[in-house]
Chain A
Amino acid sequence: MENKRHLDIDKKINEAMDSLEGLGRAEAPSFFYTRLEARMEQDLAPTRGALAFFSNPKWSVAMLSLFMILNVGSIFLISGEGNGEVAEEVATLESFGEEYFSSSDLYGYQNGF
């Protein structure tokens, strides 16, 4: 019984292996060229207008890099200017303090009277 099953399976394997003999070629679906043409118009059409150069990856990357450099540069410049302003503010406050709340040493000469 088991032997017969093995023989049957072997037969099925051979049948499956030979099942593509005489296979016909599948034909492309109807209106293949029309659909291809439509897709090519969509895929290959250049972007029109002032931003057409963005469709070129080289230009896009170059523009993005420039944008990043300008951004990073601006951040550095702003942070640098900020430090200067803070230092200036501290100096102004110190001079103001000195003017109005100056230490008694400045008037020490009066103690002599």
Chain B
Amino acid sequence: MNDSQLISDLQSGAQSAFRELVADYQDRVYNTCLGLLQNEEDAEECAQDVFIEVYRSVNSFRGESKLSTWIYRIATTKSLEVIRKRKRLKRFAFLKSISGDQGDDVQVAGFDHPGVLLEQKENAQALFQAIGQLPESQRVAFTLHKVEGLPYQEICEVMELSLSSVESLMFRARKNLQKTIKVYYEKNFKS
């Protein structure tokens, strides 16, 4: 079934169309959320939120962008909401620790992406830790390109930016990652 047929079936409320959409997109959405959130449970919950949002707002989808672009946009927006919520919790936990109350630690521990090759696990862990420290837009652009494998042109459409802006985000993301990883290895490297 092509996208326009799928959208029209979704808009008419066909459950089979929704099931097909989830089957088609669940891995792409989950992988995007996982790359951004670096936690399996959060990524699954976020992926569910994405499909619930798609179900709720499919009638307002006018087809101005590709269906995949629209779904990736929802996935990045929902993931960023979770990241912001985590930051708020972290600030709250910090305030609680100042007041002597030991709250739950919301820090994400070393993350292993299931698609990383075995021999790259340690390096990828360092890289994911550094990705977690990037500013939001650099993090989204880098994750969509390196984790989800989207070409720059599709990232432009998802983020609603020009090609030069995405190139600039990727350049700055790489520079920031190199700096962060350098600091990490200068502290932890044993030759």
Question: Complex: how many Å from CA A35 to CA B51?
Answer: 12
Task: Indicate if the CB atoms of B116 and A28 lie closer than 8 Å.
Answer: no
Interface size class for chain A? 20 to 34
Please tell me if the beta carbons of A26 and B191 are within 8 angstroms of each other in the complex.
Answer: no
Q: Are A17 and B113 in contact (CB under 8 A)?
A: no
Q: How far is the CA of A60 from the CA of B45 in the complex (A)?
A: 28
In the bound assembly, the distance between CA atoms of A17 and B174 in angstroms comes to 8
Q: A20-B147, A28-B26 are in contact. List 4 more A-B contacts (CB 8 A).
A: A20-B116, A23-B116, A23-B147, A28-B27
Query: Bound complex: CA of A35 vs CA of B43, how far in Å?
Result: 14
Residue pair B44, A32 in contact (C-beta under 8 Å):
yes
Minimum CB–CB distance from B42 to chain A (whole Å) comes to 12
**A40 near B27: Cβ-Cβ < 8 Å:** no
Binary flags per residue of B105-118, CB closer than 8 Å to A gives 1, else 0: 00000000111110
Are B44 and A13 touching (Cβ within 8 A)? no
The docked-state distance in angstroms from the alpha carbon of A28 to that of B27 is 5
A27–B30 touching, CB < 8 Å:
yes
A-side interface residues toward B, CB under 8 Å?
Answer: 4-5, 8-9, 12-13, 15-20, 22-29, 32-33, 35-36, 39-40, 43-44
Given the known inter-chain contacts A8-B189, A25-B31, A33-B26, please indicate yes or no for A20 contacting B52, CB distance below 8 A.
Answer: no
Q: Which residues in window 130-180 of B have CB below 8 A to A?
A: 130, 146-149, 174, 177-178
B159 to chain A, nearest CB (A): 19
Known: A8-B189, A9-B189, A43-B52. A23 touches B28 (CB 8 A): no
Give the distance to chain B from A20, nearest Cβ to Cβ, in Å: 5
Q: Taking the nearest CB of chain B, how far is it from the CB of A79, in angstroms?
A: 42
| Closest residue on chain A to residue B19 by CB atoms | A33
B30 touches A26 (CB 8 A): yes
Let me know if A40 and B127 touch, CB within 8 A.
no
In the complex, are the beta carbons of B147 and A40 less than 8 A apart? no
Task: For B115, give its contact among A5, A24, A33, A39 (CB under 8 Å).
Answer: A24
Task: Tell me the complex Cα distance, A15–B124, Å.
Answer: 9
* A–B Cβ pairs within 8 angstroms, 30 of them: A5-B189, A8-B189, A8-B191, A9-B182, A13-B178, A15-B120, A15-B123, A16-B123, A16-B126, A17-B177, A17-B181, A20-B116, A20-B120, A23-B146, A23-B149, A24-B114, A24-B116, A25-B27, A25-B149, A26-B31, A26-B115, A27-B31, A27-B114, A28-B44, A29-B40, A33-B26, A35-B44, A36-B48, A40-B55, A43-B52
